[in-house]
Chain A
Amino acid sequence: MLLHFSQLPLSTFGKMTRLSPFKIALIFMVLFVVCADFVCCNNGRRVGDPLETELSGFSVPLEHSFELDDVAKFESRGSLLLKTGREPSVSLTQNQLSEEDRAKLKEVAAVDGLYRIRVPRVFLQADRQTEWQMEGHLTAFVRACAMVESHLSDVITLHSDVSGYLIGVSIVTLPGACRGTEVEDEVDLEVFNTTLSIIAPVNAPGPETALFLERMELESEKKGKNTQEQKSFFAKYWMYIVPLVLFLMMSGAQDQSGGGAGGGAANGGGR
């Protein structure tokens, strides 16, 4: 029975609604044939001037931009304090939103504009302080309305690669949806409620041979025990088995051909 069921496709429970991927965000995963050089032509971009603090860490500016015409114009939002070394950590000090900015953010949210952030590219494991700074920025965005409706509670994640280069930044708000709820700007849009973390790549596991071998050994031990039990079974009941076998041999001498055919059929069934 088990055999039969497993032949059916495994993913057939029907209560789930079908996924309709293209409803809100459309993006097209395309085979890319792009390798041409390109120049970042974001106007008004300035390299942040980091403030060196301690020997073990340094701070870099976290900048944001929200404009009605969606042309990025980054202004300081706060500064990230990065601790370098084997296990990098990060903390954040950030300013409050001014009244002007609050109004602008609400306006941008009303026209479904974007709220962008950016951090400069840095190398977290540099020995000397001059080495950690690199050309360019990493940018991410979230819908401005989501920012407003979540009352400025966002989750910013910095991603580093194996050797400690910062490769990406991501921002999400909690909750993430835009429902068009009213937000009072004095109370809710003043202070950022940010959760910040830095994530290094995880090590992907290799094939797990040791555990498997252990399990195999255990199994073979079990098997060993089982064969002993079987032997004892035959030893116990041989007086019943032998006469039975003898009786079958005596009575069914001419039935043997039928037995053979039966065996063949059984094999066929297995296949």
Chain B
Amino acid sequence: MAKLILLLLKLCILFFVVHAVFEDQVGKFDWRQQYVGKVRFSHFDTQMQSSKKVLVATESNVFAALNTRTGELLWRHADKTGPEGNIDALLHHAQDAVLVVGNGRMLRSWDVNIGGMNWEILLDSGSFRSACLVGQQGTVKHVAVLKKTVISVHYLSNGHQKWIENLPESEIVDYQTVYSGGNGQVFVLGIVPHSHITIVVYSMEDGEIIKQVSVEAPWLSNIPVSCVVVDQGILMCVDSTTMSINTLDLHQQLHMTQIPLQSLGLEVDPDFHPSLVSHQPNPAQKPLSEFFLQLGPERFLLLQLNNGQIVTLRDFKPALLASFATSGEKTVAAVMSPKNMTACSINLFSADTGRRLLDTTLIFTVDPNGGKPERLHVQAFLKKDDSVGYRVMVQTEDHAVTFIQQPGRVMWTREEALSDVVTMEMVDLPLTGTQAELEGEFGKKAAIQDGLMSMVLKRLSSQLIMLQAWIAHLWKLFYDARKPRNQVKNDISIENLSRDEFNLQKMMVMVTSSGKLFGIDSKNGGILWKRYLDNVPSNAAFKLMVQRTTAHFPHPPQCTLLIKDKDTGLATLHVFNPIFGRRSQVTPPALPQPILQSLMLPLMDQDYAKVLLLVDDQYKVSAFPSTKNVLQQLQETASSIFFFLVDSSQGRLSGYRLRTDLSTEQVWEVVIPTEVQKIVSVKGKRPNEHVHSQGRVMGDRSVLYKYLNPNLLAVVTESIDMHLERSFIGILLIDGVTGRIIHEAVQRKARGPVHVVHSENWVVYEYWSTKSRRNEFSVIELYEGMELYNSTVFSSLDRPHAPQVLQQSYIFPSSISTMEATLTEKGITSRHLLIGLPSGGILSLPKMFLDPRRPEIISEQSREENLIPYAPELIIRTEWFINYNQTVSRVRGIYTAPSGLESTCLVVAYGLDIYQTRVYPSKQFDVLKDDYDYMLISSVLFALFFATMISKRLAEVKLLNRAWR
């Protein structure tokens, strides 16, 4: 019998958490969007006329090919994050794309068509300077890589090294550029600052130095910034101090010729550093003799070098951006110039004459909520009549990439800012017009102001509106039903957004590191609004808070974004409506002092906006909104408002209490000596978390009460000493009001990175065990014991007894990227941990497996309690992956939000990709299944109903007959 029970128990472990998606449910409740990051290099695939591919290498270390017709990814390769995977250069020739990765660590060649790797070689150490393709007699067969001390040449076909040479005098000369004009020579240009340029010419055949020259140029400091090579190997440098162009023939001359810009009849903006742009259509041929000179932020000149003389072909003023493009033998110059406030026009010019080509105007509409255009990538092609057509890819400051076709049709836009989401919130959608009407009717204010008669009228009118809406709805249903199913479009625009029955559709407000905000429909991932904040510092920290939800009609919902410069601590507030993305009419306060801490109070002002408190570096508190009402409320409750500050550089945690005059006083202090350990993370509980049950029923029907302290902080420390034997991580549980250390534990022989989830009465953390060299999970649970101290309210100030602490650890077979717990409306549903793995999977691990009460020896009571017997290893089951085969690259964060259904939790995982889905930790216990047979149940009901009617009638007849007898 015991065996049978054990078997059943095992079965139950095996089966009750199976959450695999059915095949027909794929993509029904979930969606994924893949991104590449901010584009650093791009090349159009021009080998075939019909090719529709653009190669991009990005600042997120991603190399990808995009379909130019749709903007979708054809293929994508994400390298390691950080400097190790940094893409230094992208060279493209015919079918091959060569990447230099990780500061010259790797040289990789990819097949452009299928995205497969041709070869990869490890380069010698040394910091990367420059790379170029080397052509000879019209064909390109080699790639040259210049490093700080060496130059190496590799075969394009297999990556083998042809030759490698040490650079002469590399300790004095800073070599910066490599150039080849396709004539069997490789030029390496180096510089000795404030002195001269060194030019070393190598023979392509064997790497022999043909020539080595020094040319005086004391004003030059950076060759790639101020110089280009044009025509037959003529170096052109622009000197911003003397405002002149200096030319140097790399083949013959020994000194530079100075041509003042004034002699060309050009006046120069004194504050602007002029720059040059040249173009080499084919690495096997010489560059063009035409080049662009940028003279001001809105001025470009197309110049030509003609027998040593510089000729102005055309002056573009105003012009924002300029770029060359080649198709076949023809090279064109594309220039973008501002047209009016909202649009720019792009025109094509013949590169060799500067003549404007007819019918080549293209209008680019500048998104008022986006950034300014930053770069122009032009794809030119020859039309059937031999004229040049083109498409452009415009990159804007907000990392967006827009692909435009003539005469201005936007083919696609990619919002690459979304590849770096920093923080997000999910906001309920507003009610529909009719629902809002009802709300308005029964609103408090209305009832007081109006009399009886007008209330009746109002009721009638709202009923009428509802009837109208219902008829419209019916009509739409009828209309849609006649159409074939795939034609029924569910177009959701910002106007018809409304909350659905179970509040499953929400607005995802995403904040990206570029400073662009997005409002995304959680149902299908469509971007409903976007707004670029252009004054965001590059090292900003963001905190997004919902001050007013949609529940307070007619007040619009309100979100506040705190943008803080990490260096100076100065902060600004952006207040906006999360549904429409519009800036709110409320003016946020100016914050002249650096901000240490911000906290959201549950207090509300008369307009139902929660109060945001900002603590500055003088420990003064300012409130937003700061109306009289708010200040009065704050004064009343000041003595019960506590907050804490963490200074990890000094290991100091300190608690403060608010005073009635909005100053603060320090009430507790805990100092963790920084010589031994450093604070790596402090986690509180989520304020919107609900715990349904205060205790757990034990096997003997007694109750073990949970220690549910909403003010509890989990502080994680890591040891400074990183030695395998002596390293440790520390876990401190501190009450945030009183500063009382509830529990203090050390995990010895362990190391970070530590991922922590803190919820209900438990803390789960993951660390690396240096002793066993594996990832381990540990769970701490806190219990008050068999009786509750004060069951009605919890107060940190009145809880004298320390809780019981239970802890257990487990082995986890994978490292993890991020971790979060599911969250539901009322907290009845059991909890799962959502774990983002580096492999791109998102694992939904039931919290039941992380339970310190899992018994080592099974007893009758533990079985009664449904505890799973302890097993040291947590096993990853493939059906626990909530994203099945939809890999989410580089998960950085997981956001969970409750829905209107208790069983359902909405999940968004973000990193390079964004993935949204729903999880049902206790299965859908409050939802009928998809295949629920309504027909059967209703027909049975009807049948039973009629059967009772008939049998009743029959019984009556029978009784009557009996009575007559």
Interfacial residues, chain A to chain B (CB-CB below 8 A)? 2-3, 5-13, 16-17, 19-38, 40, 42, 70-72, 112, 114, 116, 121, 134, 136-143, 146, 155, 157, 159, 161-163, 165, 167-168, 170, 172-178, 199-209, 211-212, 215, 226, 270-271
Q: CB distance A37 to B672 under 8 Å?
A: no
Residue in contact with A30 in the complex, picked from B16, B598, B640, B746, CB distance below 8 Å: B598
A30 touches B809 (CB 8 A): no
Decide: B676 and A161 in contact? CB cutoff 8 A.
yes
Query: Could you list 13 further interchain pairs (A-B, Cβ under 8 angstroms) beyond the known A10-B866, A208-B808?
Result: A7-B922, A24-B797, A25-B737, A34-B646, A38-B647, A161-B677, A201-B730, A202-B743, A202-B745, A203-B745, A204-B745, A204-B746, A208-B870
Is the beta-carbon distance between A205 and B809 smaller than 8 angstroms?
A: yes
A21, A37, A172: which has the most chain B beta carbons within 10 Å?
Answer: A21
Q: Is B3 part of the contact surface with A, judged by Cβ < 8 Å?
A: yes
Cβ of A163: which chain B residues have Cβ within 8 Å of it?
673, 676
B157 CB within 8 Å of chain A: no
In this assembly, does B964 line the interface, its C-beta being within 8 Å of a C-beta of chain A? no
**A136 to B671, Cβ gap below 8 A?**
yes
Q: Are B15 and A12 in contact (CB under 8 A)?
A: no
Closest 4 CB pairs of A and B: A29-B684, A21-B710, A11-B693, A24-B795
15 contacts between A and B (CB under 8 A): A3-B12, A5-B866, A24-B793, A25-B737, A28-B599, A28-B600, A29-B736, A30-B643, A36-B647, A40-B669, A134-B673, A139-B668, A204-B745, A205-B807, A206-B809
- Contact in complex: B670, A30 (CB < 8 Å): no
Count chain B CB atoms within 10 A of each CB in A121, A136, A174, A201 and give the residue with the most.
A201
The verdict on A26 contacting B797 (CB below 8 Å), with A11-B828, A32-B597, A206-B776 known, is no
Q: A168 to chain B: which residues have CB within 8 Å?
A: 670-671, 734, 739, 741
CB pair A8 B922 closer than 8 Å: yes
Tell me whether B617 is interfacial, beta carbon within 8 Å.
yes
B12: chain A residues within 8 A (beta carbon): 2-3, 6
Whether A226 and B3, one on each chain, are in contact in the complex, defined by CB atoms closer than 8 angstroms, is: yes
* Assembled-state Cα–Cα distance A163/B673 (Å): 10
| Complexed CA–CA distance, A27 and B736 (Å) | 7
**How far is B676's CA from A101's CA once the two chains are assembled, in angstroms?**
40
Contact (Cβ within 8 A) B744 A175: no
Contact A37 B740 (CB under 8 A): no
Q: Are A137 and B669 in contact (CB under 8 A)?
A: yes
- List, in ascending order, chain B residues with CB within 8 A of A34's CB: 596-597, 645-647
**Are A36 and B856 in contact (CB-based, < 8 A)?**
no
Q: Report the minimal beta-carbon distance from A67 to chain B, rounded to whole angstroms.
A: 11
**In the assembly, what is the distance between CA of A20 and CA of B708, in Å?**
10
Cα separation A137 to B659 with both chains bound (whole Å): 23
Q: Is the CB of A29 within 8 A of B809?
A: no
- Kindly list chain B residues whose C-beta atoms are within 8 Å of the C-beta of A206: 747, 769, 771-772, 776, 809
The majority secondary structure among interface residues of chain A is loop
Tell me the bound Cα distance from A3 to B11 in angstroms: 8
Question: B278: shortest Cβ distance to chain A, in Å?
Answer: 46
Query: What B residues does A205 contact at CB under 8 A?
Result: 778, 807-809
Residues of A within 8 A of B958 (CB): none
B-side contacts of A177, CB under 8 Å: 790, 798
Q: Judge whether B748 is part of the interface by a CB distance below 8 angstroms.
A: yes
Across the interface, name the chain A residue whose C-beta is closest to B544. Answer: A31
Q: Which residue on chain B has the smallest CB distance to residue A114?
A: B667
Shortest distance between the CB of A46 and any CB in chain B (Å): 16
User: Given contacts A6-B16, A38-B645, is CB(A167)–CB(B543) below 8 Å?
Assistant: no
Judged by a CB distance under 8 angstroms, whether B594 is at the interface is: yes
Question: Is B668 in contact with A36, judged by CB distance below 8 angstroms?
Answer: no
A contact residues around B642 at 8 Å (CB) = 25-27
Of A8, A19, A215, the residue contacting B925 (CB under 8 A) is A8
Contacts of A10 in B (CB 8 A): 696, 830, 848, 866
Closest residue of A by beta carbon distance from B541: A33
Tell whether, in the assembled complex, residue B696 and residue A11 are in contact, meaning their CB atoms are under 8 Å apart.
yes
Q: Are B731 and A212 in contact (CB under 8 A)?
A: no
Within 830-873 of B, Cβ neighbours of A (below 8 Å) are at 830, 848, 856-857, 866, 870-873
A5 to B797, CA, bound (A): 40
Which of A35, A163, A175 has the most chain B CB atoms closer than 10 A to its own CB?
A35
Nearest-CB distance from B171 to chain A (Å)? 40
The CA of A49 and the CA of B772, in the complex, are separated in Å by 47
The complex places the Cα of A201 from the Cα of B808 at a distance, in Å, of 16
| Chain B nearest Cβ from A192, distance in angstroms | 16
Question: What's the Cα separation between A24 and B796 when bound, in Å?
Answer: 8
CA of A23 to CA of B739, assembled, Å: 19
CA distance A34 to B642 in the complex (A): 16
Q: What interface size band does chain B fall in?
A: 35 or more
Contacts of B648 in A (CB 8 A): 35
For the complex formed, measure the closest distance between the CB of B231 and the CB atoms of chain A, giving whole angstroms: 55
B window 186-229: CB within 8 A of A? none
- One digit per residue, 1 when the CB lies within 8 angstroms of any chain A CB and 0 when it does not, for chain B 689-703 equals 001111111000001
CA distance in complex: A202, B747 (Å) = 9
Complex formed: what's the CA distance from A211 to B599 in Å?
47
Instruction: Please tell me if the beta carbons of B694 and A199 are within 8 angstroms of each other in the complex.
Output: no
Asked if residues B692 and A25 are in contact (CB atoms below 8 Å), the reply is no
Q: Please indicate which of the listed interface residues B673, B685, B856 has the most CB atoms of chain A within 10 Å of its own CB.
A: B673
Contact between B711 and A29, CB atoms less than 8 A apart: yes
Are B668 and A141 in contact (CB-based, < 8 A)? yes
Residues B676 and A26 in contact, CB atoms below 8 Å apart = no
Kindly state the separation between the CA atoms of A199 and B742 in the bound complex, as whole angstroms: 11
CA distance A34 to B670 in the complex (A): 16
Contacts A10-B830, A32-B645, A226-B3 given; does A70 touch B665 at CB 8 Å: yes
CA distance A9 to B921 in the complex (A): 9
Q: Most B CB atoms within 10 A — which of A29, A121, A177, A271?
A: A29
Residues of B within 8 A of A2 (CB): 8-9, 12
| Complex alpha-carbon distance, A24 and B711, angstroms | 12
Are A207 and B11 interface neighbours, CB within 8 A?
no
Looking at the assembled complex, report how far the CB atom of A185 sits from the nearest CB atom of chain B, in whole angstroms. Answer: 23
Cβ-defined contact, B694 with A6, below 8 A: no
Q: Is B572 an interface residue (CB 8 A)?
A: no
Q: Is the CB of B600 within 8 A of A12?
A: no
Please give, as numbers and ranges, the residues of chain A lying within 8 Å of B791 by CB-CB distance: 16-17
B806 to chain A, nearest CB (A): 10
Whether A32 contacts B667 by the Cβ 8 Å rule is no
Rounded to whole Å, the gap between the CB of A148 and the closest CB of chain B is 14
Could you tell me the distance between the alpha carbons of A21 and B711 in the complex, rounded to whole angstroms?
9
B738 within 8 A of A: yes
Q: Which of chain B's residues have a CB closer than 8 A to the CB of A16?
A: 693-695, 791
Q: Out of B594, B643, B671, B703, which one reaches A121, CB within 8 Å?
A: B671
How far is it, in angstroms, between the C-alpha of A33 and the C-alpha of B596 when the chains are bound? 7
Cα A3 to Cα B14 with chains together (Å): 10
Question: Which chain B residues numbered 765 to 804 have a C-beta less than 8 Å away from chain A?
Answer: 769, 771-772, 776, 778, 780, 790-800
Flag if A32 contacts B682 (CB, 8 Å): yes
> What separation, in Å, do the CA atoms of A7 and B890 have in the docked complex?
33
CB pair A27–B711 under 8 Å, yes or no, is yes
Chain B residues with CB under 8 A of A37: 647, 649-650
Tell me, in angstroms, the Cα distance from A132 to B310 when the chains sit together: 78
In the complex, residue of chain A having the shortest beta-carbon distance to the beta carbon of B812? A207
* Given A19-B794, A203-B748, also A9-B829 (CB < 8 A): yes
Give per-residue flags for B623-662: 1 if the beta carbon is below 8 A from chain A beta carbons, else 0: 0000000000000010111111111111000000101000
Which residues from B are CB-within-8-Å of A70? 659, 665
Q: When the two chains form their complex, are residues A25 and B795 in contact, meaning their CB atoms are under 8 A apart?
A: yes
B574 within 8 A of A: no
Q: What is the CB-to-nearest-CB distance from B710 to chain A, in angstroms, rounded to a whole number? A: 4
Complex contacts, A199 vs chain B, CB 8 Å? 741, 744
* 8 Å CB contact of B730 from A6, A121, A155, A162: A162
CB distance from B705 to the nearest CB of A (A): 9
Which residue of the partner chain, among B8, B594, B595, B856, contacts A211 with CB atoms under 8 Å? B856
Q: Report the minimum CB–CB distance from A47 to chain B (whole Å).
A: 14
